[in-house]
Amino acid sequence: MRVTVDVKGEETHEIDLETVSAGSPNGGAGTGGSTPTYQELLAEIDLSPHEVSVLVDGRPVPEDQPVESDHVTVLRLIKGGSKPPIDRNR
């Protein structure tokens, strides 16, 4: 399946799922030979779930789920705040 990945405010990518390596250790639910996850799709365009949200039909989808849609929207997160971070893992 060919997936159109629309990174809002930037470019649109066409990615062939066959070329995405599924089942990487950080890829969540994916296991070797299965459908790549949204996280693995993001890795193809050098993005991580820490900096973006993935939406399908206007709704966020869990990044560790297998890619089921041929069109996804990627949004860079808009967040921050006045106080220094306390928990650096968040």
Kindly state whether residue 75 participates in binding other proteins, applying the rule CB under 8 A.
yes
Q: In terms of CB distance, is 32 or 81 closer to other proteins? A: 81
Does position 70 interact with other proteins (CB under 8 A)? The reply is no
11 binds other proteins per the rule CB under 8 A: no
| Of 41, 53, 54, 51, nearest in space to 14 by CA | 41
Work out how close the CB of 52 gets to other proteins at its nearest, in angstroms, rounded to a whole number.
7
- According to the binding rule CB under 8 A, does residue 1 interact with other proteins? no
Is 88 a binder of other proteins (CB under 8 A)?
yes
Question: Sheet containing 2-7: which strands, arranged edge to edge?
Answer: 12-16, 2-7, 71-76, 52-56, 59-60
Given a contact cutoff of 8 angstroms between Cβ atoms, the answer to whether 4 and 71 are in contact is yes
Q: Does 62 bind other proteins (CB under 8 A)?
A: no
